[in-house]
Structure 1
Amino acid sequence: MRRLLLLLAILLVGGIAAWLRFGLPPRVAIALATQGMALEAVYATGTVEPEQWARIGPAIRGRLTEVLVEEGQRVTEGQPLARLDDRQARSAATEAEARARFATEDLARTRTLVARDISARATLERAERDAQAARAFADAANQRLDDYVVRAPTSGLVLRRDAEVGEVVDTPAALFWVGEPRPLRITAEVDEEDIARIAPGQRALLRADAFPGRAMTAEVAQITPKGDTVRKAYRVRLALPDDTPLRIGMTVEANIVLRETPDAVLVPPAAVVLPPAPRDASPTAPPAAPPGSTRRATIWVVEKEVAEQREVEIGVQAPRSIEIRRGLAAGEAVVLSPPEGLNDGAPVRLEARPTP
């Protein structure tokens, strides 16, 4: 009798445990769908520069003997900015000029002799050719002297000077930056996958390390027709307002706004179940949907402690929220991290969590 009672007790406890484990509805965490701003944008990085500027370097290799301007000084087109050591070139030009004068004097003597029938006509022709060649050589030597002078190709302000007397500089070097400090622009690079979505007039939100937390904007002004085949990117010019605090040479991050929805329906990322990637997808395969397009996903909605599976269209995916473009209304309760085996129409027990 005792054994029978013990066996019944064990069966009763086991039944209760099984009922507690398998008979109760699953416990799920929920959060309410909210309304907020959904911002779809294309990310780019760029550098602040003047709209009108020129980088100026030497025409030949040489040692700097004079630097004639300072940073912040206004210069005019053609004004000398620096001089290179031209002693050898000047000696060569002086010698060439002397040869040209000698050839000219020799031509004059030859003409006199030919006029008196003392020299042949062929001698005059040779003297004329020699005089022309000597003059051309002297003119070229004098012209080369100007290569030893670094001149401003345009009028403007000396924005930067990287030239010191005594330095040996070569043609790739940039000794001066000359331009106008206003207006400014940002030259940014946009990935070739996103460039088709960029158009002039779009607003760009800017962030710079020099001004943390400060909201700054720009506007797409120009897109270069040809992209960089190595970087696989296109150059985009962003026009800055005149009152921008940004300075020339600063690096900025830009988000070019494609779409703004101030009253979008937003849910936590844990509420969205994305479809699995194709099995044959490789790391280099293109995405299933182009960037910025709507994608289908699954969410679980709870109403009166009953779970309902829905197919929705999602838009912007941010780290803390995902936009639901169709299939859900603000204020509805969604399941966070839906448990495996959850069935459509099944009862659930609720566990509320604060929406991030």
Structure 2
Amino acid sequence: MKSLTKMSLATAAAVVVLNLSKPSPAAAPERPFAASVRDDGTLSVMTYNVKGLPFPLAYGRAEALGQIGERLRKLRRAGRQPDVILLQEAFIPEAKAIARQAGYAHVLLGPDVKDAAGSGPAADVSANKASWSRGETVGPQVDSGLVILSDHPIVKASRMAFSRTMCAGFDCLASKGVVIAWIAVPGRNALVAIADTHLNSRKASGVPIARANLAFSRQVAAIRGFLRRQVDPHTDLIVGGDFNIGQDAQRVLAARDLLAGGQEAVQAADCAPDQQADIAAIRARNKDKLYYRGRMRLRSLDVPLGNGTGEDAFSDHLGYVAHYQMS
């Protein structure tokens, strides 16, 4: 969540709720798609923070989100669409409409406000009292912004909203957490578990870094525990999303070994020469992650909506795809 500097939190929260309750004129209409599900022993997974924030936290997002959906639609027409997409910051209807516009048959939403409502007392991640002016006592005003899109059937699902003792600053206005989809990949008897998450921001939270980092560490610990409880250790597992790690040494340490026995895709795989600038930017920013463990083998990375410059015209994040060979 971006920092709010020119209006009161109460005003911003009210506007957020009003915007989310309005119908979405920019939502994509239903469009038929020919079946294009691949059964070739591979699995491709994309993580993408689409900056689907409501006005006034962001401006002009409906058009950009529509462009994202259209670009993904074109990938599908060419048979290059990711099998699974993990969206973050898909708060507004135009962001959630990406699933329909891009032709994904199976959609799973992350935690909602009602899931966060029972997740703990008011935020207090340090010895200081929770801050009203930074959104810590207001309670969640929007859902998690997490959406999993899949060409393959989602057989079962599980969600967890972070406790309100695990958020800091403006991030407390969202019902952040984690959502897991167990997906039936063609040609495999065993399901693949794929999780999507979005962790507490650092400076953009609007509170001291130490306070934001404590919330981050608690969220990482909660994800570890949730994955251990929900996912059998022998199940192939991919965990992606916007981790907001950056170059902060405390966050790097806290997130180390997030996935026991796992590896990180963006730091390990190669990409086409014309996408090296995009991948280098993703690595340097160190926020958008895809971790994996199990019997799959990482083949390559792809930045299908990038332009080879390390910038994205549609969002403030670059979405990228990891291609896996399934055994």
TM-score normalised per structure 2: 0.18
Larger Rg: 1
Compare the two structures and name the one with the higher helix fraction.
Answer: 2
TM-score normalised per structure 1: 0.17
Compare the two structures and name the one with the higher strand fraction.
Answer: 1
> Greater relative contact order (Cα 8 A, min sep 6): structure 1 or 2?
1
